A and B are shown apart, each in its own frame.
Chain A
Amino acid sequence: MRRLNQAMSTLTGRELILLAACVAITIAFASASPVFATPENAATIMRNSVELLLIGLGMTLLLAMGGIDVSIGVVMGLAAIAVGRALGADLDPALATVIGPLTGALLGLVTAAVVVLGRIPAIVGTLGLLGIYRTAIFVVLGGQWLSGLPTSLTEILGASLAGVPLSFWMIALAYLAVWLALRRTSFGLHLLAIGNSEEKARLAGISVIKVRFAAFIISGMLAGLAATFYVATYRNVEMSTGSTLALDAIAAVVMGGTSILGGRCSLIGTVLGVLLLRILQNGLLLIGVPSLWQTVVTGGLLIAVLSLEVLAGRLSFSKLGWAGR
């Protein structure tokens, strides 16, 4: 019991509210749909949360820094094509697991070059990149699906270590790595300092360009890792792969208590935000709401959370400025 108390006390008010919301909608959906509260459906929700969780971790870093990346979902799509092509070419599957993060990191580097070196607001720069990447996906895929990929990757990630699937360990490792980078290194401290005030961070001698580059590359790498899981699970890639992930990630991260003005973030909040979003989407689908409503719900949720946050007096009026700078 004391353990539990301790665990609870490390959560902030925001995270407790999210946890309560998760429990509340779970109970609501369980009573509305007989299929919802089954082990199979719980597994489905977990499965559907993997890519969003990984991308959400990267988005947390970006938003905490006062950045954003609306192209990240399509970056995952491109990385998924790279992984799929590698598998299709009978590359050693162990090597194929590296292809995804590598492609992601490379695309993250491109994003950083445009946004950081070009000094373009992140929202505008990544919107432009989103357009370019969408065309790139079409060109690379040639208008066709990449399907029927070998199961080799699936087998590797499905293998279990100490009775738990390897994929779970990898996600836990990714979370731990991001947490350590954010909370236990000077990189994390500098990142939050830049989010608070880029000008002050620069005056304090922080190498702003390096830190911002690193954040975009890490975010891209996480999207690449997400692509690896995506290919392992679905074994196909289509034109629209990942197209809704950027909005979902931004909504989940903002719900989790990371400030869009930068300087404040919560990784646990992001995890809970991802779960809440995926439970909500799954539950709505099960009680018969058409899937077309999903973007409406996500967009509406984003606006509602931000509005409530302001009404609760949590955002200061003085910090207005380009989040992309």
Chain B
Amino acid sequence: MSRLRSLHGPALVLAILAALWVVVLGGLFVLKPTALSVATVTTVLQFSTILALAALGQALVILAGGAGIDLSVGGSVSLSAILAMLALKAGMPPVLLPVACIVAGLLLGLFNGLLVTRLAILPLIATLGTFFAYSGLALALTGGAPQPGVPQWLLPWGRGTMGGVPLPFVSAALPAFVLAGIVLVFTAWGRWIYAMGFNERSARLVGIPVDRTRLILYGLSGMLAGVAALVSLAWFGSGRPNIGQNLELESLTAAMLGGIAIFGGRGGVGGVLAAVVLLVTLKTGLLQLNVNTVWQVGIVGALLIFVLLADRLSHRWR
């Protein structure tokens, strides 16, 4: 018990998430013992990949403070996938599809970054606007219909597994998190992000290029959304205009649950990945129990509010 009490920061977050995860798994085991299998693990990680990439971008943007938030992640995922598929349809060589996806995401993210840094529009309102513009465009450009025609050579990567772990998770989500973790902890640039989030004024005074760093982070969030879009293409074999639906809520919940402070400057990406796995396990479990998917958005929403309230209360009682 005393050891538990001595836990703090990232270790505490991970301990709580692990405990919650065990509770979710235990509940699932009691309600439906057959649901626990290697296949379920594969499914959970497969579904986790897209959310993990989106949540990483969200976490970085929030971490850098300045009221940072990216409500457009879901829209960016949808629109990157659709833009890449439309480009393919318009005669782009199929080899370029992955690049097109990622570049599209990067550009959408940079547009957010420009609104926030160059025009100093509040991130919440700027990305709320682009959220509707991006997700609306994805629907309007396609009339809501999935775009088929993803090249066959991409599918083995999207659907394959390595020792039960899906390839996109191993080759995209995991490296992205490891890289982000290393950059945040071991490089000056990573420390700048914490410094900006902790106290932007001081960060500016010591000469950190706050605006440029923030612009890059929004671009990065968009780029990760582009990678998530690519994963969805390789997995489903078609571009779905609503693939990013609810990702803004889920990525935000994952970031908060993972211990990122809402006002920035505090938190790490390890917790975010754990939170993503927890969230997706919960969602998959509900799906296994035949609970209507409409419940997912409510439960995730409640979780988001609960996490933030718990954070407030723990500060008050400390």
Report which A residues bind B (CB closer than 8 A).
68, 70, 114, 118-121, 123-125, 127-136, 138, 143, 247, 250-251, 254, 260-261, 290, 292-296, 298-300, 302-303, 306-307, 310-311, 315, 317, 320-324
**Which residue of A130, A250, A299 is within 8 Å of B301 (Cβ)?**
A130
Contact (Cβ within 8 A) B308 A320: no
Binding site secondary structure of chain B: helix
Q: Does B67 contact A (CB under 8 A)?
A: yes
Inter-subunit contact A120/B309 (CB<8 Å): yes
CB distance from B278 to the nearest CB of A (A): 17
CB distance from B204 to the nearest CB of A (A): 12
* Shortest distance between the CB of A77 and any CB in chain B (Å): 13
A-B contact pairs, 6 of them (CB 8 A): A121-B67, A127-B71, A131-B299, A296-B140, A298-B136, A306-B121
Beyond known contacts A128-B249, A138-B294: 19 more, CB 8 A cutoff: A118-B312, A123-B71, A124-B69, A128-B308, A130-B249, A131-B302, A132-B298, A135-B298, A261-B122, A292-B144, A293-B136, A295-B136, A299-B136, A302-B125, A306-B119, A310-B120, A310-B121, A315-B120, A323-B124
- Closest A residue, CB atoms, query B139: A292
Chain B residues with CB under 8 A of A260: 122, 125
Known contacts A292-B136, A299-B136; is-contact A307 B304 (Cβ 8 Å):
no
A127 touches B136 (CB 8 A): no
Q: Which residues of A contact B305 (CB under 8 A)?
A: 114, 118, 120, 125, 128-129, 132
**Given A132-B301, A293-B136, A303-B130, CB of A124 within 8 Å of CB of B121:** no
Assuming the A-B contacts A114-B305, A129-B305, are A135 and B249 also in contact, with contact meaning beta carbons closer than 8 angstroms in the complex? no
- Give every chain B residue within 8 A of A323 (Cβ-Cβ): 67, 122, 124-125
Does B101 count as interface, using CB distance less than 8 angstroms? Answer: no
Contact of B121 among A131, A300, A307, A321 (CB under 8 A): A307
Known A-B contacts A136-B298, A306-B126; the reply to A127 vs B249 at CB < 8 A is yes
Number of interface residues of B (CB under 8 A): 49
* B316: min CB distance to chain A, Å: 10
- Say whether B60 faces chain A, with CB atoms less than 8 Å apart: no
B169 contacts the other chain (CB 8 A) = no
Q: A292-B136, A320-B66, A323-B124 are in contact. Are A299 and B312 (CB under 8 A)?
A: no
**Which chain B residues numbered 263 to 318 have a C-beta less than 8 Å away from chain A?**
263, 292, 294-295, 297-305, 308-309, 312
- Report Cα–Cα, A303/B134, bound state, in Å: 12
B295 with A135: CB separation less than 8 A: yes
| Central interface residue in B136, B252, B295, by most chain A CB within 10 Å | B136
Bound together, the chains give a CA A322 to CA B263 distance in angstroms of 8
Cross-interface CB contact of A132 among B135, B256, B302, cutoff 8 Å: B302
Asked if B130 and A290 sit within 8 Å, CB to CB, the answer is no
Evaluate contact between B304 and A306: CB separation under 8 angstroms. no
Of the candidates A132, A292, A299, which one forms a contact with B133 in the assembled complex, judged by CB atoms under 8 Å apart? Answer: A299
Q: Which residues of A contact B128 (CB under 8 A)?
A: 70, 123, 247, 250, 299, 302
* A245–B262 alpha-carbon span in the complex (Å): 26
The answer to whether A135 touches B309 (Cβ under 8 A) is no
Question: Is B131 positioned at the interface, with any CB of A under 8 Å from its CB?
Answer: yes
A157 to B69, CA, bound (A): 43
B284 to chain A, nearest CB (A): 18
Whether B184 is near chain A, meaning CB under 8 Å from some CB there, is no
Chain B residues positioned under 8 Å from A322 (CB to CB):
67, 263
Kindly identify which residue among A127, A261, A296, A317 contacts B132, using a CB–CB cutoff of 8 Å.
Answer: A296
- A161, B205: Cα distance in complex, Å: 65
B residues near A143, Cβ cutoff 8 Å:
292
State the CA gap A225–B134 with chains docked (Å).
32
Q: Tell me if B115 counts as interface (CB < 8 A to partner A).
A: yes
Contact A303 B126, CB 8 Å, known A118-B305, A310-B120: yes
**Do residues B120 and A296 form an inter-chain contact, with CB atoms below 8 A?**
no
Residue in B124, B137, B256, B294 whose CB lies within 8 Å of A296: B137
Partner of B124, one of A68, A247, A293: A68
| In the complex, chain B residues whose CB is within 8 Å of the CB of A125 | 305, 308
Collect the chain B residues with CB atoms within 8 Å of residue A114's CB. Answer: 305, 309
**Inter-chain contact B119/A307, CB cutoff 8 Å:** yes
A293 to B133, CA, bound (A): 9
- Tell me the residues in window 127-181 of chain B with beta carbons closer than 8 Å to chain A beta carbons: 128-137, 139-140, 143-144
Least Cβ–Cβ distance between A284 and chain B, in angstroms: 12
A-facing mask of B243-265, CB < 8 A → 1, else 0?
A: 00010110011001000001100
Nearest chain B residue, comparing its CB with the CB of A246: B128
B residues less than 8 Å from A132 (CB atoms): 298, 301-302, 305
Contact between chains at B136 and A306 (CB < 8 Å): no
Task: Give the Cβ gap from A70 to chain B, nearest Cβ, in Å.
Answer: 7
